[in-house]
Structure 1
């Protein structure tokens, strides 16, 4: 089990950045990075968000690879409200379609959740709904030909989440009968850290099933998404195709690679 020699290193496009996609790609490639992940929240929220056709053209022009991140706000594959669950599945399928049009290599997805305070019968329904939703989405990913990659989530005091440990993540993957080629893993090293779990345990358990790796840091007390400057050992050890800095600011992307942050100028702000 070895790291992928031609793996791509880049950053996620967050709606908080306020940047246009083209400006952000200028910034990334100036830093020597060659990958971008488009979060659905950015694509929903930015007034000048690119279409999937635009993303393909930009990726070709800048020489970068692309992944998409399915929605994770106002969304829940494990909702015990059947209409909400179906709407969430539709959003993931739409993301898979857009990823295919854009020429993206994978779609990242979260595994759903339910409030801990709810009765056991509600929590049981939500857990089964999450499994059913993921199976439906993974089957669709196989049909379309874009891998869906389930992410390990951080623990939460108020919500039950289903993929916080290697064992929990493995159990969910085992319940979905879709070839690993199209139902893979996103390893989030920051989430592993805040869960007091060695990210290497995910590598040992899932190996080449890890297609995407999210890079950020924290002090173990909260999911802070701070810059991860010591990322090279992760890239060397994780056999992923795409490594993605997930930061809260554009300047933090530069900090991750040891570059001096530049002022946030008009290149990184929409004119709209």
Structure 2
């Protein structure tokens, strides 16, 4: 049976637990979380979010770690590089203690940098060692400069290293249009499914844009990925929909390509 999921933030300003309840009501099996406290409209400690999701009958697909300053993992400054590596490792421990089995992280951010591979290797070696020690899978996501994620996936052959495929990131200009998914399907651990117009990461619901869904869905079905999970927000004509209506529309569109 095909399982579906969605990121807990889907474009509507609502209390966290209300969003979780709506996701369950709309018929999803899994939810994806972001590792950060919520402060508006209500404060929610990130360390209880997993339990809230599970208490409402949702499985946890993964927890996404923040990517602010992620390029520090490649920095020539040893102190800055080690400081950010330590922060990532602290988050990993927090996620594991809070009930997560898998986290997602970016390897870099932006599109115009030239990093030294040896510096990044030192950072990611520590991150992977931590993952193995605490038995927490780390799925590295494709971003604009995918060759750095490609490097990490090639260098670290571990059962605790996986690949998170983001369809919208991959179907904008100068990206691979499904080829990276084919290359790393044996490491695929989770997905962020959404559509776009080919120029920007729009987070549209599937079938609205130009993503080649037949190609990528066929590849995903060859893997052990547990959930077809989306990272979507309402577009102009969908902003008049109630939250539950948008969630159901997104799920129906997803089901139509499965």
Structure 1 255/88 Cα, relative in aligned 2: closer, same or farther at 3 Å? farther
Is the 1:8–1:65 contact (alpha carbons within 8 Å) kept by the matching residues of 2? no
Partner residue in 1 for 2:58: 64
- TM-score, normalising length from structure 1? 0.73
User: Contact between 2:7 and 2:33, CA under 8 Å: does it hold in 1?
Assistant: yes
3-state DSSP of counterpart to 2:63: strand
* 1:184, distance to aligned residue in structure 2 (A): 0.6
CA drift at 1:210? 0.5
How far residue 227 of structure 1 moved from its aligned partner, in angstroms, is: 1.5
Structure 1: stretches of 5+ with no match in the other structure: 155-160, 260-272
CA distance in 1, matches of 2:177, 2:124: 25
Structure 2: gaps spanning 5 or more residues? 235-242, 254-258
1:20 aligns with 2:15: yes
Match of residue 269 from structure 1: none
CA contact (8 A) 1:247 1:253 kept: no
Which residue, out of 155, 178, 200, partners 1:222?
Answer: 200
Q: What is the aligned-residue RMSD (CA, Å)? A: 2.9
Matched, 1:197 2:176: yes
> Contact (CA 8 Å) 2:100, 2:136: kept in 1 or not?
yes
Task: Map Cα deviations across residues 136-155 of structure 1 (whole Å, 9 max, x no partner).
Answer: 1111111111100011113x
Pick aligned residue for 2:188 from 210, 220, 236:
210
How far apart, CA to CA, are the structure 2 residues paired with 1:33 and 1:206? Answer: 26
3-state SS in 2 of match to 1:43: coil
Match in the other structure for 1:148? 138
Q: Retained in 2: the 8 A contact 1:68–1:95?
A: no
Structure 1 SS opposite 2:171: helix
TM-score, normalization by structure 2: 0.76
Which is bigger in relative contact order (C-alpha 8 A, separation at least 6)? Answer: 1
* Pairing 1:94–2:110 present: no
Tell me, in whole angstroms, the C-alpha distance in 1 between the residues paired with 2:74 and 2:248: 36
Number of aligned residue pairs: 233
Residue 99 to residue 206, structure 1, CA distance change in 2 (3 Å): same
Which segment drifts farther, 203-212 or 26-35? 203-212
Change (3 A) 1:22 1:235: farther
Q: How does 1:164-203 map to 2 (within 5 A)?
A: 169-176=149-156, 178-179=157-158, 181-194=159-172, 195-199=174-178, 201-203=179-181
The question of whether the paired residues in 2 share the 8 Å contact of 1:186 and 1:214 is answered with yes
Structure 2: distance between partners of 1:226 and 1:114: 21
Contact 2:193 2:229 in 1 (8 A): yes
Give the match for residue 244 of structure 1. 229
Following TM superposition, by how much is the alpha carbon of 1:27 offset from its aligned partner in structure 2, in angstroms?
A: 0.9
Paired residue secondary structure (2:92): helix
